[in-house]
Structure 1
Amino acid sequence: MNRPSYCSNRTYDRRGRAFGGPSSFRESIEETPEAFSLKLDLPGVRKDELKLEIKDRVLTLTVTPTEERAFVTASSRAWRVGPDIDAENLTARLENGILELTLPKRQPAAPETRNIDIQ
């Protein structure tokens, strides 16, 4: 499997500054003919503590804990979404500490057939 064009290994500290190193979220990526599935391990994180947004083809996930808890810290992660992804139809679901993002692939436009007048 080729590395999807939407992936970026840029991680941010709680002040929003970029730093190197691995992501603070464990992730797995699967590909089907229709979509990519990105699963993130977020144990202890509640739905109301997550913000997921896309702007200028950059998908950003921000975790903001509503209270101090062990093993849950404020963090953010961003991925560049490639042109082969249908950014208008992304979906997300949080279940049992796993956030699953579905990134559907753009379907190629069917070749347009047009009649040509013969002179």
Structure 2
Amino acid sequence: MTALTRLQRFDDMFPDLFRRFARPMQLSDEAPADIRIDVVENDRDYVVRAEIPGAKKDDIRVAVEGNFVSISADIKREREEKSGSRVLLKETYFGSASRGFSLGHEIDDKEVVAKLEDGVLKLTLPKREGSRTRAITIQ
């Protein structure tokens, strides 16, 4: 197992660990988790799929600055269980989630396309012309 693989596994566990300590009195397991992302790169752009269940289009914000992308969302979930006309249980969650990450190339922020479908945000982030990662020779 490489050091990078071990680091990625630790990074996957890290947010979960702090989420448990941050909300020890949580009544429901239905509170939103962190925003999970998949990033695919091709010659022209990056395609990001971000899972944001429970967020509406108007409650999601995406910002691009250079090669840094940030996604944040306000999330509201309500669950109510009734027995006849009596409410036996009502759980409501209001919160927010956010995620930021850097990419290998600067993004052309004027050409970014964002679509939300079934709780999945799809971002197409075109690479800016002339911005390349350059290897620096150490003297």
Q: CA RMSD in A?
A: 3.0
Tell me which amino acid in the other structure corresponds to 1:32. N
What are the within-5 Å matches in structure 2 for residues 1-12 of structure 1?
none
Measured after TM superposition, the shift of residue 35 of structure 1 is 1.1
Higher relative contact order (CA 8 A, sep 6+): 1
Change (3 A) 1:41 1:68: closer
Provide the rounded CA distance (Å) in 2 between the counterparts of 1:33 and 1:55. 20
SS in 2 for 1:88: coil
Residue 41 of structure 2: aligned partner: 31
Tell me which amino acid in the other structure corresponds to 2:44. E
Larger radius of gyration: 2
Percent identity, aligned pairs only?
24
SS in 2 for 1:33: coil
Provide the rounded CA distance (Å) in 2 between the counterparts of 1:71 and 1:81. 32
More helix by share: 2
What are the within-5 Å matches in structure 2 for residues 97-108 of structure 1?
97-108=119-130
Unaligned runs of 5+ in 2: 1-10, 17-32, 79-91, 132-139
Measured after TM superposition, the shift of residue 84 of structure 1 is 4.1
Provide the rounded CA distance (Å) in 2 between the counterparts of 1:59 and 1:29. 12
Measured after TM superposition, the shift of residue 73 of structure 1 is 3.2
TM-score calculated relative to the size of structure 2: 0.51
1:90 maps onto 2:90 in alignment:
no
1:62 maps onto 2:72 in alignment:
yes
Tell me which amino acid in the other structure corresponds to 2:125. L
Residue 46 of structure 1: aligned partner: 56
Unaligned runs of 5+ in 1: 1-9, 11-19, 110-119
Residue 114 of structure 1: aligned partner: none
Measured after TM superposition, the shift of residue 46 of structure 1 is 0.7
